[in-house]
Amino acid sequence: MKHFVRLMGIGLVLWSCVVTPAVSSAAQAAASDAATGTVLVTGSSRGIGLEFARQYAAAGWTVIATARKPTESANLRELARRHPNVRLEALDVVDGVSVSALRDRLRGVAIDVLINNAGDTDQFRGQSLGSLDHDRFDYLMRLNAQGPLRVTEALLPNLEAGTQKKIVAISSLAGSLGARGGGMPGGYWYKASKAALNMMVVALALELQPKGFKVVALSPGQVDTQGYAARGMVVPGTVPVEQSVAGLRNVIDRLTREQSGSFIRYSGDVQPW
Residues in contact with 43: Cβ distance below 8 Å, sequence separation at least 6, in sequence order:
49, 66, 67, 93, 117, 118, 119
Planar angle of CA 158, 199, 49, nearest 5 degrees: 55
Q: What is the DSSP letter of 35?
A: P
Q: Which amino acid, 173?
A: L
Query: Which residues are annotated as catalytic?
Result: 190
Instruction: Please give the residue range of the domain that contains residue 150.
Output: 2-253
Which pLDDT value is given to residue 236?
67
Q: Rounded to whole angstroms, how far apart are CA atoms 126 and 135?
A: 9
Q: Rounded to whole angstroms, how far apart are CA atoms 190 and 166?
A: 25
Tally of domains in the chain: 1
Which pLDDT value is given to residue 234?
54
The verdict on residue 261 lying in a domain is no
The verdict on residue 259 lying in a domain is no
The verdict on residue 262 lying in a domain is no
Say if CB 110 and CB 161 are below 8 A apart: yes
The dihedral sign for the CA sequence 205, 208, 214, 220: negative
CA dihedral 154, 157, 163, 167 (to 10 degrees): 20
The verdict on residue 273 lying in a domain is no
Burial level of 221, CB count in 10 A (0-12/13-18/19+)? Answer: buried
Which pLDDT value is given to residue 121?
85
Q: Which amino acid, 88?
A: L
Which pLDDT value is given to residue 30?
40
Q: Structure pTM?
A: 0.85
Which pLDDT value is given to residue 191?
94
Residues pairing with 187 in the sheet: none
CA dihedral 222, 224, 226, 228 (to 10 degrees): 130
Comparing C-alpha atoms, which of 250, 220, 218 is closest to residue 238?
220
pLDDT in tens, the chain (273 residues): 444 333 343 334 333 333 333 444 434 444 444 589 999 999 999 999 999 999 999 999 999 999 999 999 999 999 999 999 999 999 999 999 999 999 999 999 999 999 999 999 877 888 889 989 998 999 999 999 999 999 999 999 999 999 999 999 999 998 998 888 777 788 999 999 999 999 999 999 999 999 999 999 999 999 876 655 555 655 667 899 999 999 999 999 999 999 999 999 999 999 999
Q: What is the CATH number of the domain that holds 99?
A: 3.40.50.720
Burial level of 234, CB count in 10 A (0-12/13-18/19+)? Answer: exposed
Residues pairing with 115 in the sheet: 41, 168
The verdict on residue 264 lying in a domain is no
Which pLDDT value is given to residue 237?
78
The verdict on residue 154 lying in a domain is yes
